[in-house]
Structure 1
Amino acid sequence: MAAKRIYAFGGGRAEGNKDMKDLLGGKGAGLAEMSNIGIPVPPGFTITTEVCAEYYKAGQKLPKALEPELKAALRKVEALTGKGFGDPSDPLLVSVRSGARASMPGMMDTVLNLGLNDATVAGLAARASNPRFAWDSYRRFVAMFGDVVLGLKPERKEDRDPFEVILDAKKHAHGVKYDKDLPVEALRELVAEFKAEIRRRKGVEFPEAPYEQLLAAIGAVFRSWNNDRAIAYRQLNGIPAEWGTAVSVQSMVFGNMGDDSGTGVAFTRNPATGEDEFYGEFLVNAQGEDVVAGIRTPQKISELKERWPEVARQLEDARETLERHYRDMQDIEFTIERGRLYLLQTRSGKRTGLAAVRIAVEMAEERLIGRDEAVLRVEPEALNHLLRPVFDAEAKAAAVKGGRGLAKGLPAGPGAASGKLVFFAQDAAAWHARGEPVILARHETSPEDIRGMAAAEGFLTAFGGMTSHAALVARQMGKVAIVGCGALEFDYHARTMTVETAGGAKVLKEGDWLSIDGTAGEVIEGRLDTRPSEVMAVLVEGGLEPKDAPTYQRFAKLLSWADAARRLRVRANADQPDQARVAVAFGAQGIGLCRTEHMFFGEGKIGPMREMIVAETHEDRRKALAKLLPVQREDFRGLFLEMAGRPVTIRTLDPPLHEFLPHEEQGIAQLARDTGRTVEEIRAQIADLVESNPMLGHRGCRLGISHPEITEMQARAIFEAACDAAEQGVKVEPEVMIPLVASVKELDDQAGVVRRVAEDVFARRGRKVRYLVGTMIEVPRGALTAAEIARTAEFFSFGTNDLTQTTFGLSRDDTGPVLQTYLAKEILPVDPFVSVDQDGVGALMKIAVAGGRATRPGLKLGICGEHGGDPASVEFCHRIGLDYVSCSPYRLPIARLAAAQAALRERAQESKAGDGSAKRARNGKAKPARAAKASPRRARNAAIAVPRARKGAGRRPRARA
């Protein structure tokens, strides 16, 4: 039997449901579900994502087998509406919209009012008794069809949309500000002028046949799956190209029929803050795209009841029904046609990280969802939003007092951002690539701006409301944003922005510094200092008590639930005591990687290190190492004390020696003086140490084998520091990690040095501490021979940065253009240096896990590459049975949440498979939803999940491993 390609909905029933997102896309599944639960939805049908795959397989052609189903589906809609598709007397008009299984707001295309032509526009006008409405719909359709289907675009980035240029000229000629104020004669003229522009620019006639229009629009929406902005969005959000999009064809209802009609977008809770309030906007006498595009600044949803009290009540009922049914905050689109309400979409609403945490915690406290479900609701990366800085209050007040406060708009994306002003998305991406922070300012943003929006620190628009494209993207990306700032005017050709202030017009040029406060909606000239977020102020900076920080309380509560659910332990990559302090504050259960080479760049350390490297005799090298021993010992002691009994993994010296040597004249001269040699001799030795391929050269265990005295000094510093800490009553668990091991004999050599030194120190100090010796699995041979290596190694830690380099044969430092091309062409789905390549690198990791544990069943396994803070990589590590992940201190909340989600998903899969052990009772089971939504039980005195760090804790230097 042939696969079903089209699923109908409307009339109180549907052929699909909310669980069919893979086939119907999010939009189609939502429309089907709303139909099934009695929400008023205009009837229509959804063409499946499988047809999208057929379309591309056939060389971007609709399958012939689709047409009989398409015509049958149209007949069903005609029967439900009582209108005829293409009928001049009572025409059925439809919208054609995209809908992937993952929400991609604005990235793909939509066509409204399809079915209009010179004959049906007359019938529409007569049936509606409103010629102006009919011709307004027609001019909108011609412009959309010309843009989306026929591809009529601006020729240069500085140019405006050609249809907008014609429309603005018409408004100017009639002396009106808004298109809703144009008379019907002007709209008739616009239709003719738009068609003439299509003919002039594209060399084709606008199609009059409705069925031809429909086929062309369906194909265009399928094509939009692979437009530039959709590809960019998929890459930014990890959405596979093979998913494709569904297409929903729905009978039109009209918000532009007059002052008794309108359209809007709303959220069942505030998507910026998470507050439990109905939040959204609407426009009178408008169509839906007007709200999202930000062409007119809309009214708040709270004002709806003043105009249409009965509609407002119905919409509030729909809000309650949908949130209880989906048990999540919903983003809904609605249209009011002559006082009658219709819902056109429901989906899980995009929200800021701040809102995501609040909504999840409060819904769990309302018993709408369980605690485990609350943990699954928050994207791990969203926790980063809660750590971002805000403007220093005094600095901001001084700037405003000094006349630098420019304007106010709508606060669409909370936080603080300063950057250099740019006006085009391409420029934002280019400036960001060369290391410049930018603020992207536009009249309004569009989906084509997605790459520039991703590159910008924040964005600012003159038009648009809290549900505009800019606001939606800001919430999803966690960007600072202000929208609807009406004081702004742009001259894109001159690359200037004029701000109307109380003191007169202020002109800003491209490259000028600008600051935006996305929490207060304030635009400030120049660059402003920032201060820590509420969570950072409690955990790291000090000075703010948890009881005074509701955002922190919710953050801590969510992570406490996550910690109860996860199996994987989390450690931090930290090299200094202050970094360890921050790590403990963020919940670290140990240090997974201390890079000892980072310790040599501190005060008074690099000199002796350089002396050791250029030493000509064994004796001179030992003298230099003797100077380094006490400073390394003190660093290790500080780490042990801060970690207070938690395990600390210390990697012996890894990088090639030439990286420590000076290259500037002053440093070379100083090294010559310190060693009593000539500048020429030092230069010659530096030149001798330079390697053509240092990442595969004299480094790691190879360095320790060539110069065992280096390993001896480091081992002595570790064990003496451990004894010092133990004498202070602190339990110590050092784990000495030998890097770059490819052969068990390499590890045998270095482990022998470490163990010999340990016994010597213990004998001298009359004290022993428990320790482990293990290795970093970071070359393919190490993974492939893991069973042999585990005879000596007591733990493995996967150094996935180098393992990725050596597996792919790609240098992460030199192959940026290669990776950019591969990602753009989707040769690679994601950057393998950001997320573990599970098929290749992951296969080696699995071999190492199996081999290592076959030899040593209790082998401790972890990961310490930067992948340890990537949610997808954390889930992979859980799946293959690692004991812990290690990442930078500031990624620890993300790792904790990702580890919990991995465990919960695994339990859910086991439960589906009938594993009774996976069905054990867990805390926070959801109770049935009540008839009316309960008020949130706010966590005034939430338990503190993690301790605070002492004031002054520093940030970690950029990771090299």
Structure 2
Amino acid sequence: MGRLVKDYMHLKSSSDVHRSIYGARARRLFLLKSMNMPVPRVILLSINTVRKIQAENKLDIEGILENFKEEDIFSVRASPEHWDWGGPPSILNIGLNNKKYNEIKKKLNINLASKLYLRFILSYSIDVMRLDEELFDPVVNKTISESSIKEALAIYAEEMSEPFPQNAKQQLEQVLNSMIRAWNGTTARLLRQVQNAPEDAGFGLIIQRMVLGFGKTESGSGVAQFVSPLDGSKKVTGRYLSQSQGKESLEIENSLFLTKDKRGKSLEEHMPKIFSELCRLGEEARFKTRDELELDFTIENEKLWLLDAAPARRSARAAIKIVIDLVSDGVYGQREAVKRVEPKTITELLHSQLSPLAVRDVIGTGIAASPGAATGKIVFSSSMAQSLALQDIPTVLVRVETGPEDIRGMHFTKGVLTERGGMTSHAGVTARGLGLPCIVGANSLKIDAKNRLLSSSNGRVFKEFDFITIDGTSGQVLSGKTELVEPAFDEGLKTFLDWAKEISVLNVRANADTPSDAKLARTFGAEGIGLCRTEQMFFEKDRLLAMREMIFADSNADRKVALDQLLPMQRSDFEEIFQIMDGLNVCIRLFDPPLHEFLPRERQEMLELAEALDLPVSKIAERTKDLSEFNPMLGMRGVRLGITLPEIYEMQARAIFEATVLAQKANISIVPEIMIPLVSTRKEVQLIHSYVEKIANEVKSETNHFFEYKFGVMVETPRAALRAGDIAKHSSFMSFGTNDLTQMTYGLSRDDAGRFMRDYVTKGVFAEDPFHTLDDDGVGELLLIARDRGRQENTDLVLSVCGEHGGDPNSINFCCKSNFDYVSCSPFRVPVAIVAAAHYELFK
């Protein structure tokens, strides 16, 4: 047996209570106590004390009980170091026994006493001693009376082969040990992992004298907060219920509102003095704790007591409003305000979210690839999504996986669900760029595109046009329609982002492929475009035909005719983007994907293309087969295509330079940056640079206008990272495409990794999905090698990350620490990246 542990604290207004020692809940209670607020007697067990008990040392229970009176009963609450880490549920009424039950019967009445005692018997039996809840159904399902107590005690005695404990010491000891076991249980650990809690995360415990909420004069319990949980505006919300305890007021329909309300009676009308005191204490606590709070309170014989003070429930919109108001009221400064809002909170502001009141009927889960929530009718094709959108009918596009041909349909749907894929699959990347909720890798569901059915693992079947809801923030797929909270990019968020920008050193640009993307990027605070993927412009219906004509051209001359059709389209897009981004940097990546991505897959599409090009369908099928590759992501794409078919890159360079001339003549400040994808060797860079320079000189001569441009590379292969010194001699910048670099470093297919990634992370093979959070040790080392070798040859070399990692807070920390110049991510992730970069500076 271990030693006796006497490390506990009787909480007083003069106590020294730190969150890291006693936990967040204990710290809040101390702040209330330090203001001499009416807090019942409290004993605190520190995080270290809990660890000692866990190591089989015995707590001095008798010493703790000496701080309470013989007639007292008490509660135990968990106090984790951070609120988000959760903890086991509170246990109330510890110390109740047959003797005290009889005393309370005399003091109050049989019904109230029975209600109190039965609540404790059930809680102790089910939550502490882990008896089957169903055993007590005969007791729970009838009116509470004295016989209910006898029956519940008999069930306990029969199951445990001993009578219900009558000793407060034994009860408290069992409760504490049970809560410690629950904290270390598998479910609790997994929930903490979701909140990024460390493996050794600890919690303290709070033993508090119970204020019953039952009495001969007005008594009861309630919950109050003083801002709206939806938008953060000043508003007293909550409920109060006479003759109750805990959070019963939130569970019973006839509980009172706090303020006057046309829907029913209120505490403000019923007990105006108590209501006024509650509001006063809430305002005082706001300044002392420097936060908006949710107060658990109890009234005992017309006296108000405060039992607990948690952070007020708040949506993302409310979180921003709260910190801005606290800065405005002089509670703290702008740096502290930015510090208090997690980057992930910003994500919720920019997308529709499930209402906090929504009922979740979960039918499956997948990888949360793009945040936000969407409700709509199931459709299995992009054409159906487009058709229903024209009738103003919302849809969720359900596919085994998506490809380039689905981009148009993705513009018309409300959300995307795929059975296959990972974070950087086509569906995930495209959805994030569009700000579209998306779940990928939902392999707990089966998609039968042929018969247009979606099936869950438990046998539920959904047909096309049935309603479902997807939550791209949690990865949950829900049955039916669900209430959503709409996004808001308002002045409050703009102000908050301005504060964050003043703090951060790392710049944040956006991945923007079209003028509409560029407008969004600028609205969200991007400091330029870090990746403009020119191929995305070719997927528009009016351009796709010209692109396909170029692919089917049999000679350079025919190919040039098709490219001449595309030239004015690209030039117009670039000119508009330059206008939108006036004064900011724009980095344009030349054509990257393999040509087969632009060819039709379905027979009907082949027929339509054959008619448009006046070719037999067999010619279309033959050309599609000729261009197919065993591993297209490592085949003829990127710089290899530019060297093999230089006229493509020459056309794009001309479009960029002609747009630059037109923009500069319109007094728009622009120095375009031209980026070459998938390079591996210095010679590739030199060769393409010569093509681009030739076109630049031609345009200067033709327009009699001088302009500057920057030339650089996208580092996506390990060899390019290792030979960065050679490449840097011919480049102004290096942008790391960490999606492909991760894929090539690990030898993983980013489209297929979702099938096993969850198991790899759960079993600890990978700490995180490397396509979601940058692998510091492997891929990160390649980035550092490239940084050092590149800047050794070119001290002015600009370095950035433009893969999806550019919007991930943990990956942004790596970029800040490694002295990179900027990151680039989808427009909807720009605000998140801005706050993450500021957080690095605040917490480093």
TM-score (norm 1): 0.69
Q: Tell me the equivalent position of 1:336.
A: 299
**Corresponding residue of 2:645:** 707
Structure 2 residue identity aligned to 1:192: L
Change (3 A) 1:637 1:797: same
Q: State the match for 1:140 in structure 2.
A: 119
CA contact (8 A) 2:222 2:247 kept: no
Go from structure 1 to structure 2 and tell me whether the alpha carbon gap of 1:412 and 1:634 turns closer, same or farther (over 3 Å shift). closer
Pair 1:810 & 2:748 matched: yes
1:609-646 deviations in Å (ceiling 9; x for gaps): 22333444444433433333232222222222222232
Q: Report 1:294-693 matches (<5 A).
A: 294-296=251-253, 298-302=255-259, 303-309=266-272, 311-388=274-351, 413=356, 425-427=361-363, 429=365, 535=489, 552-672=490-610, 678-693=616-631
**What is the CA–CA distance in structure 1 between the aligned matches of 2:369 and 2:818, rounded to whole Å?**
36
Aligned residue runs from structure 1 range 241-260, under 5 A: 241-257=199-215, 260=218
Matches within 5 A, 1:66-105: 67=58, 70-71=59-60, 74-83=61-70, 90=71, 92-104=72-84
SS for the counterpart of 1:336 is strand
1:280 aligned partner: 238
- SS of 1:288 mapped into structure 2: coil
Secondary structure at 2:729 match in 1:
coil
Match of 2:477 in 1: none
Give the residue type in structure 1 aligned to 2:94: L
Alignment-derived partner of residue 691 in structure 2: 753
Q: Is structure 2 residue 808 aligned with structure 1 residue 870?
A: yes
Q: Paired residue for 1:116?
A: 96
- CA deviation vs aligned residue, 1:204-254 (integer Å, no higher than 9, x gap): 975555444434333332333355764564454433443243333333332
Check conservation: 2:23, 2:79, Cα contact below 8 A. Answer: yes
Q: Who is 2:55 aligned against?
A: 63
Q: Relative to structure 1, is the Cα distance of residues 430 and 868 closer, same or farther in structure 2, using a 3 angstrom cutoff?
A: closer
What amino acid is the match of 2:126? Answer: D
Contact 1:95/1:111 (<8 A) preserved: yes
Alignment match, 1:191: 152
**Identical-residue share of aligned pairs (%):** 36
**Are the structure 2 counterparts of residues 673 and 25 from structure 1 closer, same or farther at C-alpha, using a change threshold of 3 Å?**
same
1:663 is paired with a residue of what secondary structure? coil
Q: Structure 1 residues 52, 860: CA separation in 2 closer, same or farther (over 3 Å shift)?
A: farther
Question: Aligned partners of 1:339, 1:531: CA distance in 2, in Å?
Answer: 39
Q: Give the Å deviation of 1:436.
A: 10
Q: Partner residue of 1:149?
A: 128
**151, 169, 172: which one pairs with 2:141?**
169
- CA RMSD in angstroms comes to 4.0
SS for the counterpart of 2:336 is helix
Aligned-residue offset at 1:560: 3.0
The answer to whether the 8 A contact 1:222-1:247 is kept is no
The whole-number CA distance in structure 2 between the counterparts of 1:102 and 1:112 is 22
Structure 1 residues 281, 428: CA separation in 2 closer, same or farther (over 3 Å shift)? farther
* Superposition deviation, residue 428 in structure 1: 6.4
Q: Is the 8 A contact 2:226 2:292 kept in 1?
A: yes
Counterparts of 1:694 and 1:205 in 2: how far apart (Å)? 72
Task: Look up the SS of the partner of 2:786 in the other structure.
Answer: helix
- Residues 267, 349 of structure 1: 8 Å contact kept: yes
Task: Give the equivalent residue in structure 1 for 2:672.
Answer: 734
Matched-pair contact (CA < 8 Å) for 2:12–2:34: no
SS state of the match for residue 702, structure 1?
A: helix
Deviations 1:693-736 (A, max 9, x none): 33333322232233333222222222222222223332222111
Distance 1:819 1:245, change over 3 A: farther
User: Does the CA contact (< 8 Å) of 1:668 and 1:679 recur in 2?
Assistant: yes
Which residue does the alignment assign to 1:218?
A: 176
AA aligned to 1:709 is E
> What is the alpha-carbon distance in structure 2 between the residues aligned to residue 748 and residue 258 of structure 1?
90
- The secondary structure found in structure 1 opposite 2:146 is helix
- Find the residue that maps to 2:792 and give its secondary structure: helix
1:740 counterpart SS class: coil
Counterpart of 1:40 in structure 2 is: 38
Distance 2:4 2:66 in 1: 25
For 2:305, the aligned partner's letter is Y
- Greater relative CO, 1 or 2 (CA 8 Å, sep 6+): 1
Distance 1:143 1:854, change over 3 A: farther
Q: Residues of 1 paired with 2:237 and 2:34: CA distance?
A: 25
Residue 922 (structure 1) aligns with: none
Distance 1:703 1:258 in 2: 86
Is the contact between residue 240 and residue 829 of structure 1 (CA under 8 Å) also seen in structure 2? no
Alignment-derived partner of residue 882 in structure 1: 820
Aligned 8 A contact 2:653 2:695 in 1: yes
**1:842 alignment partner in structure 2:** 780
Structure 1 residues 777 and 215: CA distance shift in structure 2, 3 A: farther
Shift, 1:806, TM fit: 2.9
**Where in structure 2 are there 5+ consecutive unaligned residues?**
260-265, 377-413, 416-436, 438-458, 470-479
Q: Separation in 1 of the partners of 2:93 and 2:85?
A: 20
Number of the residue aligned with 2:379: none
Query: 2:715 is matched with which residue?
Result: 777
Deviation at 1:589, TM superposition (A): 2.3
Q: 1:219 and 1:733, CA in 2 relative to 1: closer, same or farther beyond 3 A?
A: farther
With structure 2 as the length reference, what TM-score do the two structures score?
0.78
Report the equivalent of 2:426: none
Q: Secondary structure of the equivalent of 2:696?
A: helix
Q: Aligned in 2, Cα 1:902/1:669: closer, same or farther, shift over 3 Å?
A: same
- Alpha-carbon distance, 1:190 to partner: 5.3
Say if 1:870 and 1:651 are closer, same or farther in 2 by CA, change over 3 A.
same
Q: Pick closer, same or farther for the CA change 1:895–1:616 going to 2, 3 Å.
A: same
Q: Which residue of 2 aligns with 1:723?
A: 661
Residues 189 and 864 (structure 1), Cα distance of their counterparts in 2 relative to 1, 3 Å cut:
same
Following superposition, the deviation at residue 739 of structure 1 comes to: 1.4
1:304 aligned partner, one-letter code: L
- Matching residue of 1:270: 228
Q: Work out which of the residue numbers 833, 837, 841 in structure 2 matches 1:899.
A: 837
What is the rounded CA distance, in whole Å, between the counterparts of 1:693 and 1:813 in structure 2?
Answer: 12
Contact 1:647–1:732 at 8 Å: present in 2 too?
Answer: yes
Which has the higher mean CA deviation after the structures are superposed, 373-382 or 187-196? 187-196
Secondary structure in 2 matching 1:886: strand
Distance 1:718 1:386 in 2: 35
